[in-house]
Chain A
Amino acid sequence: MPVIFLLIILVNLFIAPSTFARVTPEDIYQQTRANFENNLSKIQDAQKKQSILSADTELKNINQIVCNRFQLDVDKLSAILEEEKSRQNVTKTVVAYGQGNTKLDTAAYYLNYAAEALAYQRIQDYTPAIGSGNYASVINNSAANLKSNLGILQNKILRAKAEVKKAINAYEK
């Protein structure tokens, strides 16, 4: 028994823990872009190539355009909430586990949640994985993914709106 114990200790002493390179979102982005560029260079048809490039740019643009629009909504919600807080002389926001002490606090929590989701969505990448050959289908998949993610974000903003509305209704007669 002591021998086994000693063996375990010795093995642990000598084997350095395997260190792996951490794969960051930036690494994944670079890899996806490298694959995209690589697969794109293999396409002979110049017109097709151009269309794929345009679609790739278009996917990025859609994400940014919709996020910009949502940004205005979040900013306005934030301004409304701030105005209500100043009317009620509230300067602090106390939130624990998603539940604030007051309706204003809860609204602030959900607004912050929506703003963070928006910031996250803004940096998402929808580069089409054009390796398989059926380019239209691959781009449509990316578009569907983008639309779905934007829909989720929209719901988060709507939730924030509902919470701000609840707070306003509670204080404004």
Chain B
Amino acid sequence: MIPELGHLALIIALCLAVAQSFFGLGGAQRANLIWMNAVRPAAIGQSFFVMLAFGSLAYAFLTNDFSVAYVAANSNIALPWAYKFTAVWGAHEGSLLLWVFVLAIWTVAVARFSRHLPQDFSSRVLGVLGIISIGFLLFMLTTSDPFGRLLPPAAQGADLNPILQDPGMAIHPPMLYMGYVGMSVAFAFAVAALLSGRMDVMWARWSRPWTLVAWLFLTCGITFGSWWSYYVLGWGGFWFWDPVENASFMPWLVATALVHSLAVTEKRGAFKSWTALLAIAAFSLSLLGTFLVRSGILISVHAFASDPRRGIFILAMLGVFVGAALILYAWRAPTFSQRGGGFKIFSRETFLLLNNVFLVVAAAAVLLGTLYPLVLGALKIGQISVGPPYFDHIFVPLMLPFFVLIGIGPYVRWKHGSATETLSKLRIPAALALVAGVVAIVLLRAEVSFIATAGVLLAAWTIFSALQEPLQRLWQRLHHRHVSLARSVLGMSVAHLGAGLMILGVTVNTMLGITVDRVMKPGSSVAVHGYQFAFQGVQDVSGPNYQAVQGTFVVTRAGKKVALIYPEKRQFRHDGTTTTNAAIAAGPFRDLYVALGNPLGQDSWSVRIEYKPLVRFIWLGGLTMMLGGFIAILDKRYRRVRVPATVDMSAPPKDADADLAKAPER
């Protein structure tokens, strides 16, 4: 009964999505107030029914309704209830439902927080979101219905993929989807601006907080994904340049470029067309990511072939959305006034432009490396793969100059800056970064390499440059001078600080991390970087739905006990799948990582032991970037209640210059 209700809810949601996009786009086009007034109710109704469908599937999982094929394939009676809930998005159909569920959340948010926008504009935004909903709802209903029945019902269900039975499953996919789908809001704003001819400063101001929120979630999703794969997959790495990872990294790179380009459009009225193009690109890459991960072409050609409709449908949807948006862009963008603020070569605008060039080139390089092998494979020309060395070769030379610029940009004025002024402001961070570089060379000695030194130097440079301004303001305030720091500026500083911390973590961990694979017997011990790892033996333990072999390791340093850790090898009962659950003794400055390898007979095991310095800084950096985005959203100017509809939208707002006057350093 409940699954049928869910299916029905999806159909009703599809009808309401049609109404939402028809009234939204048609109403705005014909300036029909009655139609436009119907958009919000339709959008909210559509979202309600999608959420109802999601609730029905979750209910089917929690009540072990194994007559639903999807539940039978991805759940089991013995599965702990929390994982039954996360199993909702454990496979293809449910992830799509999660996608539209997240889109429903965004739609409600847009409907709720867009009342201050001109009605035709908000109607168009909701109309575009409605079209995206139609696409995905149709996709689900025609090719991937999660509510299909299984006759006869299964007795107890297969099981959720053991790797997914982890708390990370509750955070990583929803956060990532919030980011992916959030790009559709930035996209909808850009398309609405193109349609209404309002590609101007106000458009940038309206869409900036939405883009920031989406970026924030995407950052969160990727950071958690990296951390999750680090501890659950038993590989001990934080990033593998796996196509699935690249699928989320490409939208992130473009979204980061978009966040910066929006700043120029909002503050100076420049880069308008480029910003709109980036918004379209960010959404296209999110769709492409969904396509790569969900169509199954990455996991196996067979999954793709068994139901080619899926891959073809989503590819067609990608083509229609992106193609239509690009045609609209080609048609409308040249008609808009490009009269933005002009700027000199040494200006904030140029630095932000360079930021965009680097990020977009990086995204293009990842795209090439990800798609080329797939295209060759699909065309049956040959089978090749592009491994991490390719991405490393591209990223290192791209990121070196990028991180030089990231420290300078914030200290250059808009419009026309002065090189001497900027240099004098950057004396202290530059000096501190040099000191850090020298310290790194002295400390690392034997292991010193150009890349390691450059990485540490640039990380220090980024960190000190990002810290300088907030600390300066704090110092001044402590001395009772009235100074203020706009939240958006503070947010930027914090986000750049996060980028610096991340680069520091990546560099140090990659250059100085140690991995040792050894054969160990109970009683034997291995020394890694001053730590003694003593293997005490293994014992059998049993979990709710698995049997495990658990090893015990005592870690000591200079005779003192550091940690007692228990890596496991788990075997899941229902299909005998084995997973390696590494044990990690975490610390702020280093992780000690132990994973059981293979039993080699006579009680001996192959064991992987890793010393990972500063690995936590990578995720700390990600979290710091998120925090920066969050602070920036709290900026006062996004909380303005109502924009009078009569304001001349084509001119940069007066307070753009007022902001300049208020904060002379910006």
Q: Do A and B actually bind?
A: no
Binding site for A on B (CB under 8 A): none
